[in-house]
Amino acid sequence: MDYRKELQEAINAADEALVYLRQADERLGKARTWGMLDMFGGELLTTLMKHNRMNEAQRDMDQAKFALQRFQKELQDVDQVVELNIDVGEFVTFADFLFDGLFVDWYVQSKIADARRQLAAAIWKVQTIRDRLVDQLQHLQING
């Protein structure tokens, strides 16, 4: 087994997971903006735009889950045992359309904020592990 190659594969898996996690966070930021408009007099179009961004973020999070599973496997290949229990939950959409109003809009905004906090924690965790792997790889390359 080529340890350098395994380290690089783990770094690549981290990079892939980070792309999806950051993209989901960006989309949730946009959903939050649409949600604020929705809370203060938005119409059906505003609600649709908010949920479109939320759905896109959910797809990114689903992709991130697969990438995180791959990252977990690659970490095992380099003898790194790290629990990556990252769950950013599911969104509430049906109630928002059915009971469109300030309280439901506020609830959806709180769910977006919760998901963004969890994403931030996941990004930090993956980035920290990735940085440690890069340091190990650089150390091996310098010291042969």
Report the range of poorest mean pLDDT among 23-27, 36-40, 107-111: 36-40
CA angle 9, 55, 24 (to 5 degrees): 40
Q: What is the pLDDT of residue 94?
A: 42
Residues 137, 8: contact at Cβ < 8 Å? Answer: yes
User: For residue 99, what are the domain limits?
Assistant: 3-143
Residues 76 and 43: their CA atoms lie apart, in Å, by: 49
Q: How many domains does the chain have?
A: 1
The model's pTM:
0.81
- Residue 27 vs residues 31, 34, 90: alpha-carbon distances, Å: 6, 11, 15
The 10s digit of each residue's pLDDT in 83-126 is 666 554 555 454 444 445 556 677 778 888 888 888 898 899 99
